[in-house]
A and B are shown apart, each in its own frame.
Chain A
């Protein structure tokens, strides 16, 4: 009896032990014996299916932008629900979550941003949208750059977007009127048409107690989008384009002379405050893509937020006191592409969602009207650009869609790389210390390379 019990407990413990080991090793795809994670997804069982006809699509995102637009326009069959999976974009967390979830087959759909999209357009884990069923006719009105970005080296198109994100320089009308005597965008563009005049105007504004831009990273995208070669060359060496060093030099001068705030980074409190400065130092302008105007600046401009009963009207903060011009150089900022897991069993459904979000012209017109998006459809954009009744209330009634339609043609995506997000944040961080006088140029360079090569060990300092 005793020995029987002893045996039983041993057996039980052995089973428990084995079970625990299985659990512990179940998701360890990291053992050195492992292959390259070349999972074609064939044997992935679709776990989220709950009933016979109930379909749950797992959709990863990093902010509400895509969720709001999805819920506004997409109509799903009754048996389909979306399981939204959120991870923060800060510190590359979202990107790393995608890299973890996608090979594990935990996603059907996800959105990716331009700074790291190349990692996904190169991967077979992401479906070619043409395989999903989108036709060339579906894609014909999309702006070419949005297709270029999402096309892999093998020519497969692995993502589609409902928006395009050319950038503009958004300036305060009242300051322009006080300093330059007019707030007319056509005239003001003359004061910011290239970097030399931009800097000269900054000096004029400084005399009036106004900062040209809020902080050190504001002009970053205008420079980084106009480089002549990508960050990483074929030998995995990190190349700093001369144009990026002109950004460093110009920004150093700007901060040194008070044309930009010291130590003011993007998204910081002081950066936001500049949009509606009250009695603090005013800021003349910001570089923004359409989402930055509708999603960021609008909220920053209001004295009384919409949630607190405020109205989007002139007099509530600086709302309506802004106007847009092309600025010194064309650029783009951000952008959200919808991508799909190639192993997902719900391909038709995914294609249907992509069509509703990015192809259907009525839906895109709705997005343009309700969210102020610059939609990724040349026909819709042309309609809005030529509509004499259309004007952005935030921009004092200006129809900026026409400006954006011109700007979108200048976007050159050929230098976008897979590891730009980590490189961009490291570059801004390292030189941010330099602009504040904390480090020398050499130290800033050392810190930049150190951070990037730690994040991406295959990259090298030349």
Chain B
């Protein structure tokens, strides 16, 4: 009997044991909180001073409150304003970021250019990412203050007659936030795209050159299609990161999301709900955000990945 039993031992259980820690940690620190977020979103529960109000079951009331505005209509909800703010500020950073990263990655991987001191440049362009966003925001806040160095320089060069109140204008505030996102993330994207470009078979480039293709043709017709999967990855991660934008505008605008809430991102608004630990509204807001982001990611993935599958010469 014992022998038969020994024969029946499945080594698969070791596999389960080894992957168990991840699932345990995941279920406690991710799955459970996510489920509780959905659960709380059906309750009215917040603090009034030191006292807790609720929880009272309110069904979908919190969702209705998030999705309707002051006049009770769907489109007047602040959600759209905050979503638009977030999207605009993300694009302001992402568009120059992807352009600069593509250019830099192409230069760095170009065998003919054979740039010297690559390690130094890669380190330098990656450095802004290491700075804490909070510290970076404080720095920019000081730089662009009405009595800060940027205004002092502009005044001295007679570009402007009066100090520019950058953070009081929608364009100025959003522009600075976009600029910061660009500076912080283009190094990271460059490294990713370089990895993708270095994975391309050099024979393809050589063959194209022999056929008389210009560098521009090589970039657009060989490099771009072949790095498409990584581009999709960069786009989706950046979009999810962008929709979660919080620390930079929060600190730059001193939590106000000003002027006139035009730099108030979705997560900044979510954070406002946590002021009174309003888990009901925050939960409903998060749940909607979760659904929205999933749908958006899926959409981007489907469209861009399908193009890659059908249009890429490598497939």
Q: Which residues of A contact B (CB under 8 A)?
A: 2, 6, 9, 13, 16-17, 20-21, 24, 30, 32, 34, 36-37, 90-92, 96, 99, 102-103, 118-120, 122-123, 125, 262-264, 268-270, 273, 280, 418-419, 422, 429, 432-433, 436, 438-439, 443, 446-447, 450-451, 454-458
Tell me whether B51 and A454 are in contact (CB under 8 A): no
Our pick among A123, A262, A456, A457 for the contact of B165 (Cβ within 8 Å) is A262
A370 to chain B, nearest CB (A): 32
Q: Which B residues are closer than 8 A to A by beta carbons?
A: 6, 9, 13, 17, 20, 24, 28-29, 32, 40, 43, 45-55, 70, 78, 142, 145-148, 165, 168, 170, 254-256, 258-261, 269, 272-273, 275-279, 281
Do A433 and B147 contact each other (CB < 8 Å), given the known contacts A13-B24, A37-B52, A91-B254? no
In the complex, the answer to whether B260 meets A438 with C-beta atoms within 8 Å is yes
Task: Across the A-B interface, give the 6 residue pairs with the lowest CB-CB distance, nearest first.
Answer: A119-B49, A32-B55, A455-B275, A269-B147, A438-B259, A454-B272
Assess whether B28 is in contact with A24, with CB atoms less than 8 Å apart. yes
Chain B residues, CB < 8 A from A458: 46, 48, 53, 276
Chain B residue with Cβ nearest A422: B275
Interface contacts (Cβ under 8 Å), in number, total 109
A152 to B53, CA, bound (A): 20
Considering the chains assembled together, what is the distance between the CA atoms of A13 and B22 in angstroms?
Answer: 12
Contact for A91 among B255, B260, B278, CB less than 8 A: B255
Tell whether A96 pairs with B275 under 8 Å between CB atoms, given A91-B254, A269-B145: yes
Residues of A with C-beta under 8 A to B9: 2
CB distance from A383 to the nearest CB of B (A): 39
Tell me if A99 and B50 are in contact (CB < 8 A). yes
- For residue B275, which residue of chain A has the nearest CB? A455
Main secondary structure of the interface of A (DSSP, over half): helix
What is the distance, in angstroms, from B110's C-beta to the closest C-beta of chain A?
45
Contact between chains at A34 and B276 (CB < 8 Å): no
Query: B116 to nearest A CB, angstroms?
Result: 42
Known A418-B49, A458-B53; 20 more pairs at CB < 8 Å? A13-B24, A21-B28, A24-B28, A24-B29, A34-B52, A90-B254, A123-B49, A268-B146, A270-B145, A273-B147, A419-B49, A432-B258, A436-B165, A439-B259, A446-B70, A447-B260, A447-B261, A455-B276, A456-B275, A457-B46
Residues of A within 8 A of B20 (CB): 13
A20 touches B24 (CB 8 A): yes
The reply to whether A439 and B260 contact each other, CB–CB distance below 8 Å, is: yes
Residues in A with CB closer than 8 Å to B47 are 99
Contacts of B165 in A (CB 8 A): 262-263, 436
Q: Which residues of B contact A268 (CB under 8 A)?
A: 145-146
Q: Which residues of B contact A120 (CB under 8 A)?
A: 50
**How far does the alpha carbon of A96 sit from the alpha carbon of B47 in the complex, in Å?**
11
Report yes or no: B32 in contact with A24, Cβ–Cβ below 8 A.
Answer: yes
Report the separation of the CA atoms of residues A161 and B48 in the bound assembly, to the nearest whole angstrom.
25
| Shortest distance from the beta carbon of B176 to any chain A beta carbon, whole Å | 15
Residues of A within 8 A of B17 (CB): 9, 13
Q: How far is the CB of B217 from chain A (nearest CB, A)?
A: 49
